[in-house]
Amino acid sequence: MSLELSIEHENLLVVHASGKLTKEDYAAFLPTVDQLIQEHHKINILFDMHDFHGWEAAAAWEDTKFAWHHFRDIERLAVIGEKRWQRGMAVICKPFTRAEVRYFTHAQGEQAREWLQALPAAR
């Protein structure tokens, strides 16, 4: 799995994901999330998928624990994808977070960033 993280506009975490997400990917991802939440209390996430194939079983469990632990910490989540099932993923994750969740195509990537920046996360 290739997972690249970057921080934009203080409280916006951009995650570029490809391949299949592993438990080790969560180990790399979580410290950045925890640090941003500690600094800003609420964050926004842009999850951008290119050639993404989902989660290994252990990673799916880590994702569930992440959602439970950070249920209230994410203000907005923009999911950018390229496949029909990825659009569905944006709908399925809504019960696991208080975040406002929206799906965007890659052609709408700039719109996703604008939407995430339109409402600063609560401090």
Closest by Cα among 59, 103, 110, 55 to 82: 103
Q: Could you give the 3-state DSSP secondary structure of residue 41?
A: coil
pTM of the model: 0.83
pLDDT at site 66: 75
Q: Please, which residues bridge with residue 103 across strands? A: 79
Which region among 3-7, 49-53, 54-58, 95-99 has the lowest average model confidence (pLDDT)?
Answer: 95-99
The answer to whether residue 122 is domain-embedded is no
CATH, residue 44: 3.40.50.10600
The answer to whether residue 121 is domain-embedded is no
> Into how many domains does the chain fold?
1
pLDDT tier at 123, thresholds 50, 70, 90? very low
Q: Which domain holds residue 15?
A: 2-116
- 79 pLDDT higher than 90: yes
Q: Please tell me the distance from the alpha carbon of residue 12 to that of residue 17, in angstroms, as a whole number.
A: 16
The answer to whether residue 75 is domain-embedded is yes
Closest by Cα among 105, 110, 59, 108 to 83: 105
